[in-house]
Structure 1
């Protein structure tokens, strides 16, 4: 008889082979489920279907190659995203519906086909086509063109476009922007990099995601990127100014030649020292005297750095540029710091160049330990300046510490959640951006930073200087016309590794008149110039010129050729501005200041002091960085007409009611005023009387205020500002402030202008404002301000002017004999309570739009009386005013006409 033994607990009769078979069947089942899911996702995404084979490769293939996540993880992520979408719905996203007429769109198709055949997009001046965008409840006229250097911007149906609005319209506060496939900017990573920049105050364009339809066909989710224009500066809380760049067009021209590989990228023109400098919006700059003045300084500063005449710390904003380079280094973004992608804004107050970062392209980052510094000679040159290096190393250490304690990844994931969730609705297999590559990278970077190694190698990126006679160069020389009509100069610098011969320099007329020799009689031709060396910026020569004929339009043309060849080319010469020989903002040393001002004493290691008495200030009194200034009661400083008080540290002017401090012009006519810049600590002015300021106006530097605080917190208590002759008596920018019982009296134009500031005005008064024909008492832009218990009287324009997305809360104020009591404009909000407005020659309250990019304005007024006003309340259609709970009637208002008549600009530019 067969006896069967009972099975022991835990024992199984499953053999290894059967187990493997079961696992195999389960694996096949899982693969089948995953495959079905992927196919389902594909078929339920109409944009993927529309974009067909090339877009499929771009969208799926690139994801597999770019992201450090394997296929199994991708499928799990996709399933999770799909289930989450089913539960929570699709995130809201702005929608742009673009309509372009058939004939116009045909030109776009032709341009795209040309780019696909040539391998890249070559843009021309006539590429723009007209159309319109429907956005929310508006239809906005536009012009647009294809954009992007390479054809990744043209694959599938997700083509990249540059879009300009027309008729002064805007979309989401922008007049110029681009839309592009999110893959061209690394999906969510571009936005996340920008969020890191925001923490350090570094400028960048707005960047977001939108849903786009073009002529009825869905393009799906596109990345929207702001272009370089005034609105970008406003978004970054900067004043209007100029943005400059290195012109890379010569590289592309060389690359398009038959021998492009040798003379294009990696060739003679692929270097910041061999590139022209130009500006965005050059047409607008040419129409503005103020912007032209700024451009001359901006180009001169950048050229002085390229030529080695000024140090990086004298040209650039140290904090912002050092932080930008460090952030780029940490994340391996070589593309952001490439010379041809660098953009710089000239801060009109500091006259330093600030970086404007774009096109980070983290999908093509350095993942290993390679340094982006060594890959770009200009960055290495910048970091050879000790101040820039110290800032770079400091931010590098800070980011490394954040990564070590987990706060960097926590911040990154928190910011990533919303855009990642949105992108996953279309890019199903998209994964979170990996940060684990930072482990090894940060360790290596910290080791190099400790030895200052990375900034010393400026020659790693070697250039191919062609040695074959057959190579063609688009230009031979860097040419520039400078000077005034009585002292014209032609600057000449060889641009190629060849000796160059100039055979003619002529003035030529577009009307076909006989050319006129531009060089002085007796000048020997031809002129020969030596070949450019590998790493030199080229030796620059200057040739004096004769003035062109008095009548007609004449242009300067140089005829040149490569030495040893018979053929020559004509090159038109444009105007350039020379490198600056010195920093445009006045500077000084402690020793020089002590020697120049006998009354100035060093009382502590970093404290300068002026004690009682009346002192003549015959030249500018400058407090160097790292020092503070104290002035005691009873001091009177009488300034020469061109002498200002400029402090790079905090000031404490401590007067008394019976012994005030007086700052006044020596001749009784005027002096530039007080400037405190980036002080690093709060300044205090008590019982100070400032008289007769005219504001700073030099060939290079213009400030609007007689008293100026920039990035410097301040308290003014029981002060008086009288007889200001400039645009603003007081201008506070990017600072926190308190005005306590302070009086501003007798100004030619505005009294107090707050730009991107926060603070309060308590008590005090604004009297006799705008005697030159126009002026506001309090004018705020991009600011948050509280006004309590203040008196306004005899103001030629507006007592309270709230603009450019500001918030102002005014309580218990009295306003009389004014043009307008209170105005809210351009996305601003004014809260006004317990106020009396009387004798308004134009309006008691008004709300309107002057700058469409900001949107509508509003006023909420409670317990406000308005007596003897030509128009008690004026509300432009779209804005609102609520008075004691009642909505006021709106109407169409011609704002331009207002500013040409009743709201006169006075001295405002």
Structure 2
């Protein structure tokens, strides 16, 4: 008997696999192929191959493993139960049927009432179908649903979210992309994306993906100041005979009506839309419109993942940062795939017009290259791949209960892609990698912006003529419903003569001018395009959207101020008594140095904006004094943009008084001393009699503060958002002259506060919100409305604290914003010298408060009632 064989033997397992593969191929050719395909897709099958035989073999292999994947799935997931009345459910079914008839989900779709049950809570909601394409509703169940919770309730830090079948986002793909950003240290806004179990009207829909919607909730949970999210709509497109495709793109903000009802957000909206329009039209460079560092990081990560889908014009989302007046990218529908033949492509950012125009800016390209190097270092150490692999395994184990065919991504391809990008696809492993397949997406060859009517309209006043001109650049008619005016005392003018002529339809391409009373300083126009909801738009006298934005000046002549010595990389103000009567904006990367003993006075409206660091070198016996000029009510303060986090500002023995924040165009920051980013070291700064919302305002700063004194603050004394560091041996006195004034107000920050006194505080002495972590020691509070307040998933720990003369509550923990959740406070060695102190410590149900090792019993607390009464804000606008 021969032990070798003259022909290859086929084992039993191979025979079964071959038969199974043939069966699959036959099934895929049958008329019922759509049903089979849908079942496979919903179960998590993603083909990793191009060859039909390899596809079939993979399918058989995946099916064989599926029972084990299903049995080993992690079933410990949050459970959401949703109830929708039968008649309302029929409306959703009707929209689904319409989608199958027309090939996509209708733009105008039914929104129905429903209830969401989670952890013994019943949350009222509105629900509609989510998405555009049929993959969102193709299956028998697990349709994509958009849910908006009512009454300011939230789940997983979101009031608005979608429930999706995981195949719509290619399962673990968005998670792997966002984790790559986080592990690389790239601070890019990403929506929450997590698996949950869903039951609808008693029917088990299995595991679905909970995806946070683009909203203020998402901004807050990503450590961003309230702002807005901008996207693009297609206004028009044309194709020439040689297939050149031109698109007219219209920027708009998400949740427009909510934005327009907020005066501050309404101003920001105009800046954001005007900036993006200028970029699309080629009037502004990418580095002038976008946050260069974050944009470079996002584009680099997109290229490494081959996430071309994120670069299509309709998938871009940007956050408008109100501090920098720049747009930041948001992770949106990256659609990464585990299939090597789709994943590995030459950088898709080179193929899309928008990203090409971004990378044509040398500063963006430099940030992009730096980000690639950061990713390369992370991969070379092995830590990033190991952590991604661990998180991938944990994630797919959770979705295997409903999608047991889901495979893992071969994460080693990330390293290959990085290597090929760096080497220009010239060496052996990379030569077969091609540019993006043109069949995947039809690229536009040119683009222009369609501007909203309010961006090209305006309120002007000159030579005794006051008028508002409304222009309609749109292709639809504009209905002008009403106009009112406001004077400098905030008194309303109804303008009866003008309104007697309204409403009026302004046809496409036309304009209309109305004469106005001279005393008006702003005009409010209620209008909207035909068929759209009418809203109120505000126009301020002689101010266009981009009248002023915070940018370094290109050329600055300081001959008028010989006391400012200009050298390479810095300006120096030598010792003396000097007056400045301009609002001076520095060139880029400039450090301002002021010597000890210098006295600076500013006329009304004048101030400083520095793009670099400031070194105020006052001494105890020779402090720096900065204040208003003799005949000025106030000056415009100092704003500092520490663009490079390694650079910083240092302030010693400086007195700053009678300052307001700059009111320049529609960009209106809050602080009279205003620092954005970088390190801020303060020792001996005294701020008094400010006229701004915040006396000292620091954003994204690494702070070391000692001997800070703030007195007679109009509203908040020190506001620190997304800061880390310490405050010691400081004093806050007479805060909130107008009302709504906190001593220290922090959001998303981690601070240690020690040896600090708070006296005569009209609101909260210390307020910790939005997941802040505060340690407070050896401090005293007297004549305050509230001493320490922890809210919205913040934690305060402290000891050796003394309070007296507290009007309302000494210690409080509660939730104001449900998408953050309850708060915690643990105070030891606490002394309260007031009568009835036991009644001045309160914790809302769900939050925690411990005082001197004793738990304060949580109780129902009307937070809304608090903010409508004793905590009601009346901050200056």
Q: TM-score under structure 1 normalisation?
A: 0.81
Give the Å deviation of 1:833. 1.1
Of 403, 407, 418, the match for 2:394:
418
Aligned residues between the structures: 808
Aligned to 2:712, which of 742, 746, 763? 746
Residues 573-582 or 166-175, more deviating: 573-582
Pairing partner for 1:193 from 177, 186, 192 = 177
Measured after TM superposition, the shift of residue 897 of structure 1 is: 2.2
Query: How many Å apart are 1:677 and its aligned residue?
Result: 1.4
SS of the residue aligned with 1:319? helix
Report the equivalent of 1:711.
677
Cα displacement (A) at 1:690: 1.2
Contact 2:680 2:702 in 1 (8 A): yes
How far is 1:182 from its partner?
0.8
Change (3 A) 1:317 1:58: same
Secondary structure of the corresponding residue to residue 340 of structure 1: coil
Q: What does 1:348-747 correspond to in 2, within 5 Å?
A: 348-363=322-337, 366-400=342-376, 402-403=378-379, 406-435=382-411, 437-438=413-414, 441-442=417-418, 444-447=420-423, 482-484=457-459, 486-492=467-473, 544-547=511-514, 584-589=549-554, 592=556, 594-603=558-567, 605-667=568-630, 669-680=633-644, 681-747=647-713
**Which range moved further: 167-176 or 375-384?**
375-384
Q: Using a 3 Å threshold, how does the CA distance of structure 1 residues 27 and 377 change in structure 2: closer, same or farther?
A: closer
Mapped to 1, the partners of 2:640 and 2:713 lie a distance apart of: 21
TM superposition shift of 1:489: 4.3
How far does residue 904 in structure 1 lie from its aligned partner after superposition? 3.5
Change (3 A) 1:434 1:903: same
Distance 1:223 1:791, change over 3 A: same
Offset at residue 373 of structure 1 (A): 2.6
Q: Does 1:861 align with 2:819?
A: no
Match of 1:215 in 2: 201
In 2, distance between residues paired with 1:477 and 1:716? 45
Match of 1:97 among 60, 67, 81: 81
For residues 688 and 492 of structure 1, do their structure 2 counterparts lie closer, same or farther at Cα, with a shift above 3 Å needed?
same
**1:138 equivalent in structure 2:** 121
For 2:538 and 2:808, locate their aligned partners in 1 and report how far apart those are by CA, in whole Å: 47
Alignment deviations for residues 481-515 of structure 1 (CA, whole Å, 9 cap, x no partner)? 6223924243548x8xxxxxx9x999799x99999
SS of equivalent residue, structure 1 residue 488 = strand
1:292 maps to 2:266: yes
| Contact kept in structure 1, 2:467 and 2:514, CA below 8 Å | yes
- Counterpart among 116, 128, 131 of residue 148 in structure 1: 131
Structure 1's 175 and 515: CA in aligned 2 closer, same or farther, altered over 3 A? Answer: closer
For residues 506 and 139 of structure 1, the distance between their equivalents in structure 2, rounded to whole angstroms, comes to 41
Residues in 2 aligned to 1:669 and 1:642: alpha-carbon distance in whole angstroms: 9
- Could you tell me how far apart the structure 2 residues matched to 1:572 and 1:891 are? 43
C-alpha deviations, 1:720-764, integer Å up to 9, x for none?
111122111111111111111221111111111111111111112
SS in 2 for 1:683: strand
User: Do residues 237 (structure 1) and 223 (structure 2) align?
Assistant: yes
- For 1:772, the equivalent position in structure 2 comes to 738
Partner of 2:30: none
State the secondary structure of the residue aligned to 1:380: helix
TM-score after normalising by structure 2: 0.83
8 A contact 1:97–1:135 mirrored in 2: yes
Contact in 2 for aligned 1:67/1:433 (Cα 8 Å): no
By how many angstroms is 1:543 displaced? 5.1
- 1:849-888 aligned at under 5 Å gives the runs 849-868=815-834, 871-888=839-856
1:245, 1:344 within 8 Å by CA — same for their partners in 2?
yes
Structure 2 vs 1, CA of residues 574 and 476 (structure 1 numbering), >3 Å: closer, same or farther? farther
Residues 235 and 450 in structure 2, CA contact (< 8 A), matched pair in contact too? no
Question: Cα 1:593–1:631, aligned 2, differ >3 Å: closer, same or farther?
Answer: farther
Q: Distance in 2 between matches of 1:237 and 1:656?
A: 36
Instruction: Label 1:579 to 1:361 Cα distance change in 2 as closer, same or farther (>3 A).
Output: farther
Do the aligned partners of 1:310 and 1:581 also contact (CA within 8 Å) in 2? no
What SS class does the counterpart of residue 177 from structure 1 fall into? Answer: strand
Aligned-pair distance for 1:25?
A: 4.0
Decide whether the 8 Å contact of 1:54 with 1:155 is kept in 2: no
Q: CA deviation at 1:73?
A: 7.0
CA distance in 2, matches of 1:429, 1:208: 18
Compared CA separation, residues 785 and 67, structure 1 to 2 (3 A): farther
What is the CA–CA distance in structure 2 between the aligned matches of 1:129 and 1:438, rounded to whole Å? 43
1:173 to 134, 157, 172: 157
Deviations 1:546-575 (A, max 9, x none): 44999x9997989xxxxxxxxxx9999998
Structure 2: distance between partners of 1:341 and 1:862 = 51
Classify 1:369/1:687 alpha carbon distance in 2 versus 1 (closer, same or farther; 3 Å). same
Change (3 A) 1:628 1:71: farther
Q: Distance in 1 between matches of 2:268 and 2:375?
A: 34
SS at 2:663 equivalent = coil
Are the aligned partners of 2:527 and 2:537 in contact in 1 as well (CA < 8 Å)? no
Superimposed CA distance per residue, residues 665-693 of structure 1 (whole angstroms, 9 cap, x where no aligned partner): 12363222122213421221111111112
Q: Work out whether residues 661 and 688 of structure 1, in 8 Å CA contact, stay in contact via their aligned partners in 2.
A: yes
Residues 724 and 750 in structure 2, CA contact (< 8 A), matched pair in contact too: yes
Q: CA, structure 1 residues 425+583, in 2 after alignment: closer, same or farther (shift >3 Å)?
A: same
Q: SS of the residue aligned with 2:46?
A: helix
**Which of 861, 870, 874 is the matching residue for 1:902?**
870
1:192 alignment partner, SS class: helix
* Residue aligning to 1:16: 4
Contact 2:353 2:445 in 1 (8 A): no
CA distance in 2 between partners of 1:733 and 1:705 (Å): 10
Does residue 1:205 correspond to 2:191, yes or no? yes
- How far has the Cα of 1:249 moved from its partner? 6.8
Q: Describe the SS at the equivalent of 1:395.
A: helix
Larger radius of gyration: 1
Q: Which moved more, 1:833-842 or 1:71-80?
A: 71-80
Residues 893/635 of structure 1: CA separation in 2 closer, same or farther (3 Å cut): same
CA deviation after TM superposition for structure 1 residue 119, in Å = 1.2
Aligned-residue offset at 1:350: 0.4
The reply to whether residue 228 of structure 1 matches residue 214 of structure 2 is yes
Contact 1:778 1:799 in 2 (8 A): yes
Aligned residue in 2 for 1:117: 101
Distance 1:905 1:641, change over 3 A: same
Q: Per the alignment, do residues 366 and 582 of structure 1 end up closer, same or farther by CA in structure 2, a change over 3 Å counting?
A: farther
Unaligned runs of 5+ in 2: 25-33, 427-433, 460-465, 483-498, 518-523
Shift of 1:696: 2.1
Residue number in structure 2 paired with 1:44: none
* C-alpha contact 1:760 1:787 (8 A) present in aligned 2: yes
Cα distance in structure 2, aligned partners of 1:136 and 1:682: 47
Residue number in structure 1 paired with 2:494 = none
1:245 deviation in Å? 1.2
